[in-house]
């Protein structure tokens, strides 16, 4: 064998061994979304597809979810290592399961404002939150907006309302048909769902919780206590890779939808582009997010939310804000400077 051929063969074997070692040492992370593969899921699917997690020494798999409550439960049971869930759902789990051995913790804020909103049709005469008094509202029983409605109700001095429960696909249909007066739901989901049912956006009244006296935080990245304890470096690496991807997604949201399409081929690409842009504008790069800083929280606001959730959800014990949040794994403030320029 010629010396040059021998050396190239040795180099190739060394490179293969290096890649093999990397593959063996990559930490597996099972991650559960709060919902289906829709526009906002690009925040997690893009860094997977572009190899950012792999470069950070992680083998990350992302699965579609069935709601924030389920995401919290599955991370608590150890079925998943990390997840994406509404902070109120996490707080409720902590306060209702004080003796649970494995309570997930929030390690990064993503939706700085709750996406929850009330929607009604203009033809019903709705203009303000006060117009909801005595009306019939509809939402699935696990909907975050419905769960948190007592906080919205108190903030706007709304007298009694009546609730109708239904499966998620029927919510916007029942509003469009006039079976109910208003609905609660994520702002960037219910509006587009109404449009898909033939309702013109100009005919819809939207009352975002964040614009009506309710400063609840929205979705956070959560981690299992086992992962936090046994491999804190993996949590830190995950958040760093996620932040790198989030910067790109917010800079060019339309391009990132291809990674969602790769996971669910039947999505409406244009619809999901709009959904992602709406999510970024409304809850990810909101004025409150710019004030707190991406990924971070305001301690006073967090404590207020803990108190509000304790009251509204009638939890067994009071929510301890310090127990549900661990910001020690966040990238530096400079690295978290990923929000796009504010729109004028």
Q: Is residue 257 scored above 50 in pLDDT?
A: yes
Q: What is the CATH number of the domain that holds 167?
A: 3.40.190.10
Last residue of a domain, one of 182, 211, 240: 211
pLDDT confidence band for 322 (50 / 70 / 90): very high
> For residue 24, what pLDDT is reported?
59
Q: What is the pLDDT of residues 4-44, one digit of tens each?
A: 444 444 444 444 444 444 445 899 999 999 999 999 999 99
* Residues 203, 224 within the same domain: no
Give the pTM: 0.90
- Burial of residue 128 (CB within 10 Å: 0-12, 13-18, 19+) is exposed
Q: Provide the residue range defining the domain that includes 204.
A: 116-211
> Are residues 229 and 300 both part of a single domain?
yes
Q: Is residue 2 part of a domain?
A: no
- Average pLDDT of span 94-111: 97
Domains in the chain, number? 2
Report how far apart, in Å, the C-alpha atoms of 278 and of each of 66, 200, 283, 344 are. 21, 17, 8, 16
Burial class (CB in 10 A: 0-12, 13-18, 19+), 90: buried
Given 192, 211, 230, the domain boundary residue is 211
User: 124 and 97, same structural domain?
Assistant: no
User: Residue 104 phi/psi, 5° resolution?
Assistant: -60, 155
Domain membership of residue 334 (yes or no) is: no
Pairing of strands 182-186, 116-121: antiparallel
242 & 325 share domain:
yes
């Amino acid at each position: 064998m010629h010396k040059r051929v021998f050396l190239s063969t040795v180099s190739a074997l060394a490179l293969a061994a290096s890649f093999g070692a990397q593959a063996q040492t990559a930490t597996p992370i099972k991650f559960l979304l709060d919902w289906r593969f829709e526009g906002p899921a690009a925040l997690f699917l893009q860094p997977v597809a572009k190899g950012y997690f792999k470069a950070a020494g992680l083998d990350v798999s992302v699965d579609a979810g069935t709601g924030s409550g389920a995401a919290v439960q599955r991370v608590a049971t150890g079925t998943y290592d990390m997840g994406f869930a509404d902070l109120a759902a996490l707080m409720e789990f902590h306060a209702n399961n004080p003796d649970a051995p494995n309570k997930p913790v929030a390690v990064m804020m993503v939706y700085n404002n709750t996406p929850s909103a009330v929607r009604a049709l203009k033809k019903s005469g709705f203009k303000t939150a006060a117009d909801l008094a005595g009306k019939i509202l509809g939402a699935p029983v696990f909907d975050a907006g419905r769960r948190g409605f007592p906080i919205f109700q108190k903030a706007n001095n709304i007298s009694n309302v009546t609730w109708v429960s239904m499966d998620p696909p029927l919510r916007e249909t029942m509003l469009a048909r006039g079976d109910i007066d208003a609905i609660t739901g994520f702002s960037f989901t219910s509006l587009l769902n109404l449009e898909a049912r033939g309702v013109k956006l100009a005919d819809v009244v939207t009352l975002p919780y964040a614009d009506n006296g309710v400063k609840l935080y929205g979705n956070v990245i959560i981690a299992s206590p086992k992962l936090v304890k046994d491999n804190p470096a993996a949590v830190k690496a995950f958040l760093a890779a996620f932040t790198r991807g989030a910067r790109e997604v917010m800079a060019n949201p339309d391009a990132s939808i291809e990674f969602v399409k790769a996971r669910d081929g039947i999505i409406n690409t244009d619809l999901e582009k709009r959904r992602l842009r709406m999510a970024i504008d409304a809850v990810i790069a909101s004025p409150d997010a710019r004030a707190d800083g991406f990924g971070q929280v305001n301690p006073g606001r967090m404590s207020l939310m803990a108190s509000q959730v304790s009251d509204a959800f009638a939890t067994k014990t009071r929510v301890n804000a310090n127990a549900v949040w661990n910001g020690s794994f966040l990238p530096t403030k400079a690295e978290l400077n990923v929000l796009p320029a504010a729109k004028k």
